[in-house]
Amino acid sequence: MKRVLSITLVFLVLLCALIPSVSAEEIDTNVTLNVYNWGEYIDPTVNDLFTAETGIKVNYKNFTDNESMYAVLDSGAAIYDVIVPSDYMVGKMINEGKLAKLDFANIPNLSKINPSLLNPSYDPQNEYSVPYTWGTVGIFYNTKYVDEADLKLGWDLLWSEKYSGRIFMFDNPRDAFGIALLKCGFSLNTQSLAEWDTAYEVLREQKPVLHQYVMDQVYDKMINEEAWIAPYYAGDGIIMMDEEEGNPAIDFFVPQTGTNLFVDALCVPANSPHKREAEEYINFLCRTDIALLNAEYIGYSTPQEEARAELDPEIGQNENFYPPEDVLAKTEMFETLPNEITTHMDTLWMRLKLADPAWSVFTILVGVAAVVCFVLYIVRRVRRKR
Amino acid sequence: MIKSKGAAAPFAVWMALFTVIPLGIVLWFAFTDGGGNFTLSNLSSIVDYAGTFGISIALGAVATVICLILAFPLAYTISRAQGRMQQTMVMIIMLPMWMNFLLRTYAWMSILENNGFINQLLRLIGLLPEGQSLTLINTNGAVILGMVYNFLPFMVLPLYSVMAKIDNSVIEAAQDLGSNILQVFRKVIIPLSVPGMLSGITMVFVPAVSTFVITKLLGGSKTLMIGDTIETMFIGQGADYHVGATLSLVLMVMILICMAVTGMVDQGEEDDLS
């Protein structure tokens, strides 16, 4: 009996230690924040600076696209306190109740964020997200091999037979279909199934001229001149066009007909156990000196106005990264698509990547051959037994 | 003496936890819809993926045949070598497997690229004009090469272990009775190494059909293999656990059939010998 009692006591003590202190407004410096961000998306010293100032440790993990980040959170495989989804994913997660409302009293640095990026369509009341970076999608090209004259093709450059086998394409459905929709002159958020089908046909036409579908490996491959033309996010130019580590022959342009404006935003998942500390972290990232460090390292446009003013004018005043009003006027943001459209897009994307249906004839042949072999074998065996 | 049943208990628990229960979960997903109701619609949607199964089987089969052709003479040479030499040769075969699988595949990527090792070498010795390149990467050939390279040891090792058991005197007897080298191979060595061939074929074909990293890295992600398709059904946009589970189930059944067929042939061979 005594033993049972003592074991129960030990258990209770352990349990108490596990329950976090209830006073929510106090920052608990003993916690470890789990942060889930894109690859190469923070200055490597920032997390250490945060720990040095607040005592809160940071467990920092990377993801490669919104969809896999969503899948990880959705499966419950891991719990994160700060995540950085893109615009349309923020909207989707808000609709599904997967994000926590932020307490902006804890994030005073919000005042330094460019007001034109606040209250966006994906978070109209600006309750759940704080813009972290933004930018446009454009085309990177290698000036050694691509004629300046061909740039007037705009998005059609990505379909050009002339550069067959030297063109990359996004390896995710939303961005890839986005470019096809732009090429056709449709809205990025069109709800017409027929327009999505047209975009699918257009992507299908593009497949033969492509070198490969690619995401983050595009940096290395463009720098090594593996291929010459790649649509990607403007901010990655900093890495690709760098004089030493990149390839100075690479240049960038945004097609005149319009493009996609994207925002990656800091959010806190609804199931985060450390929301107060997460807000502290978000506020820290919005501080001018930290935002400046990140803007210089990541290369994507920063929404933090004071940090932009302190940037090297070659970047801070560069129209590729901070486009003028007339270009911005023609941009469109991704919005959360209704489920039926998303499902339709996913089906089309899958179909785009599946093998030629002619291969199913081969499958049937193999199946028939297997059955014939089996029957022959049985027949032979039966005969031999006699 | 340890009772055999008791000794197997840990393994039985392990099997139940990590094989039987997960299999049950796969089955459950394959035959239910999003609401948890019984459905056969997942199974019928497999028709859309017939082509994917086809191309995966075709590439896997080609890779298996190439592995067999390469491994057979190699395994024979090793099995006839002297003690020390034999051990060294086996170790050399195993050596690449000490390196990470991903790393090896990445290495092939940089060898085959447009500006990779092969193309640069060809340009250097003047076989290719400057600025031109052979398209090696992002082709089915590159995928097959990746499969052969990665799975070759799985063909060599079973063949070698069977061939090492063939007594030299059997070969000498055949030669004494007037067989030339070809006849010795056809009538003695090949029939005696069938069990090794069969397990080698299974060990190469099964992972080759279901591979997904190789196709992504060396195939340019333009055409999905069955392994890639299953992967995207579980992570990534458009994840559909139910179809994914059904695809894995079909793949499992295919592999079971493949193993059953090789098992039958194996049995048939034994009947022939006795």
From B52's Cα to the closest Cα of chain A, the distance in A is: 5
Nearest to B251 by CA among B34, B39, B49: B49
What chain B residue is nearest to A204 in terms of C-alpha separation? B222
CB contact under 8 A, A67 and B236: yes
Q: Determine which of B49, B52, B133, B134 to mutate to test the interface with A (most A C-beta atoms within 10 Å).
A: B52
Q: Would you say domain A24-131+264-331 falls under CATH 3.40.1190.20?
A: no
Q: Is residue B220 included in any domain, yes or no?
A: yes
Residues of A in contact with B265 (CB under 8 A): 377
Q: Which residues of A touch B228 (CB under 8 A)?
A: 353
Pick from B120, B221, B250, B264 the residue to mutate for testing the A interface (most A CBs within 10 Å).
Answer: B221
**Could you tell me if B139 lies within 8 Å of chain A, comparing CB atoms?**
no
Secondary structure (H, E, C), chain A: CHHHHHHHHHHHHHHHHHCCCCCCCCCCCCCEEEEEEECCCCCCCHHHHHHHHHCCEEEEEEECCHHHHHHHHHHCCCCCCEECCEHHHHHHHHHCCCECCCCHHHCHHHHHECHHHCCCCCCCCCCCCEEEEEEEEEEEEECCCCCHHHHHHHHHHHHCHHHCCCEEEECCHHHHHHHHHHHHCCCCCCCCHHHHHHHHHHHHHHHHHEEEEECCCHHHHHHCCCCCEEEEEHHHHHHHCCCCCCCCCEEEECCCCCCEEEEEEEECECCCCCHHHHHHHHHHHCCHHHHHHHHHHHCCECCEHHHHHHCCHHHHCCCCCCCCHHHHHCCEECCCCCHHHHHHHHHHHHHHHCCCCCHHHHHHHHHHHHHHHHHHHHHHHHHHHC
Of A211, A363, A377, which is closest to B138 when you measure between CB atoms?
Answer: A211
**Cα A381 from Cα B259, distance rounded (Å):** 19
Q: Exposed, middle or buried, A272 (CB in 10 Å: 0-12/13-18/19+)?
A: buried
- In chain A, what are the domain boundaries? 24-131+264-331
What integer pLDDT is reported at residue A24 of this predicted model? Answer: 47
H/E element, B39: none
Contact B236 A370 (CB under 8 A): no
Structure tokens belonging to residue A295? 């803007």
Q: Which of B222, B225, B258, B264 to probe by mutation at the A interface, max A CB count within 10 Å?
A: B222
Q: Please check whether residue B263 touches A, CB under 8 A.
A: no
Q: Give the Cα separation of A347 and A173 in Å (integer).
A: 10
ipTM of the complex: 0.82
- A363/B239 touch (CB, cutoff 8 Å), yes or no: no
Total domain count, chain B: 1
Do A270 and A97 form a contact (C-beta atoms < 8 A)? Answer: yes
Percent of chain B with pLDDT over 90: 55
With beta carbons less than 8 A apart as the criterion, state whether A179 and A170 touch.
yes
Is the four-CA dihedral A182, A185, A186, A187 of positive or negative sign?
A: positive
Nearest to A34 by CA among A67, A16, A56: A56
For residue B32, give the DSSP letter. Answer: B
Contacts of B50 in chain A (CB under 8 A): 357, 359-360, 363-364
Of A68, A213, A363, the CB nearest to B51: A363
Mutation for B interface: A350, A380, A384, most B CBs within 10 A? A350
| CB of B261 less than 8 A from some CB of A | yes
Asked if A212's CB is within 8 angstroms of B221's CB, the reply is yes
Span A255-305, pLDDT tens digits: 988 899 999 999 999 999 999 999 999 999 999 999 999 998 888 899 999
CA distance A357 to chain B (A): 5
Contact A226 B221 (CB under 8 A): no
What is the β-pairing status of strands A82-83 and A130-142? unpaired
User: The pTM is what?
Assistant: 0.79
Closest listed residue to residue B205, CA positions, set B161, B151, B243, B164: B151
CA A3 to chain centre: 54
A225: chain B residues, CB-CB within 8 Å: 114-115
Q: CA of A156: how far to CAs of A205, A209, A229, B241, in Å?
A: 12, 12, 12, 36
**Cβ pair B238:A210 closer than 8 A:** no
- Least CB-CB distance to B57: which of A221, A361, A363? A363
DSSP state of B189: I
Task: State how far the Cα of A43 lies from the Cα of A294, in Å rounded to an integer.
Answer: 5
pLDDT along chain B (274 residues), means of 10: 72 92 93 87 88 92 96 94 91 89 92 90 88 86 94 95 92 92 91 92 92 87 88 77 92 84 74 57
Residues of chain A with pLDDT under 70: 1-25
Question: Taking the CB of residue B216, how many other CB atoms lie within 10 A of it?
Answer: 20
B58 contacts in chain A (CB < 8 Å)? 359, 362
Q: Do A355 and B223 touch (CB under 8 A)?
A: yes
Contact B231, B213 (CB under 8 A): no
Cβ–Cβ below 8 Å for B221 and A358: no
CB contact under 8 A, A374 and B55: no
Contact at CB, A171 and B221, closer than 8 angstroms = yes
Q: How far is A351 from chain B (nearest CA, A)?
A: 9
In B239-258, the residues whose Cβ lies within 8 Å of chain A are 239, 257
Instruction: Answer whether B34 touches A (CB < 8 Å).
Output: no
Q: What's phi and psi for A358, nearest 5 deg?
A: -55, -25
Q: Is B142 on the interface with A (CB under 8 A)?
A: no
Total residues found in chain A within this entry: 386
Q: Please name which of A34, A149, A44 lies closest in space to residue A82, comparing C-alpha atoms.
A: A34
Residues of B in contact with A358 (CB under 8 A): 51
Nearest chain A residue to B58 by CA: give it. A362
Residue A306's CB: how many other CB atoms inside 10 A? Answer: 16
CATH number at residue B114: 1.10.3720.10
**What range defines the domain where residue B114 resides?**
50-262
Residue A6: half-sphere exposure toward Cβ, Cα within 13 Å: 3
Residue B252 falls in which region: left (phi positive, over 0), alpha (psi -120 to 50) or beta: alpha
Closest approach of chain B CAs to the CA of A364, in angstroms? 8
Whether chain A has a CB inside 8 Å of the CB on B215: the answer is no
Residues of B in contact with A377 (CB under 8 A): 264-265, 268
**pLDDT score of A21:** 44
Task: Give the list of residues 6+ apart from residue B240 with CB closer than 8 angstroms, or none.
Answer: B233
Phi-psi region of A242 (alpha: psi -120 to 50; beta: other; left: phi over 0): beta
Looking at the complex, report in whole angstroms how far the Cα of residue A189 sits from the nearest Cα belonging to chain B.
17
pLDDT in tens, B94-152: 898 888 999 999 999 999 998 889 999 999 998 888 878 888 999 999 999 999 999 99
Q: Tell me which chain B residue has its CA closest to the CA of residue A380.
A: B268
What is the gyration radius of the CA atoms in chain B, in angstroms? 23
In a domain, B64, yes or no: yes
Please tell me the distance from the alpha carbon of residue B107 to that of residue A227, in angstroms, as a whole number. Answer: 18
What separation in angstroms does the CA of B120 have from each of A85, A142, A163, B80? Answer: 41, 19, 20, 39
State the Cα–Cα distance between residues B227 and B146, nearest whole angstrom.
15
